[in-house]
Structure 1
Amino acid sequence: MGQIIIRNLDDRIIETLKRRAEAAGRSMEAEAREALRRATRLTGEEKLALISEMHAITGPMLERCTDKREAWELIREDRDATNDPYR
């Protein structure tokens, strides 16, 4: 895990973190980690953009695939094509 040092924080921010940490029953550091985790969650729009990017990459590969059979069918065909059980 990485570490981060944040300098020059406003005293109000520190006090707010302390109060929230006490209310949640955790350390100020744990509260700061939770605040950063919440702040860096992907929005719905960001998730959709990532899905679009992945589809742009994988879509053409899937379209080029001409053999649409299930994997087990292909494995069975390969096994049946030889008498060597260890192939």
Structure 2
Amino acid sequence: MDLSIKGVPEDQVRRLRERARANHRSLQGELRALLDEAIGTPRPLTIDEIVARVSGLGLPRRDEAARLIREDRDR
């Protein structure tokens, strides 16, 4: 679907173009990214975001897995 916004001030258009350029996107791509952000459209998580979420879960680290298995086996 196509959308149209009329009467956008030149200053806003200039800032949108600057933002798009800074994000290596076209103006259309930047507008779609802003819409996604505004309405909560899911986007793929970055590696850093995944690490932050998993770290917050308090799960044992990989190196602890062997220790836990050995403890269980030795009971």
Q: TM-score, normalised by structure 1?
A: 0.43
Larger radius of gyration: 1
Which one has more relative contact order, counting CA pairs under 8 Å at least 6 apart? 2
Q: TM-score, normalised by structure 2?
A: 0.49
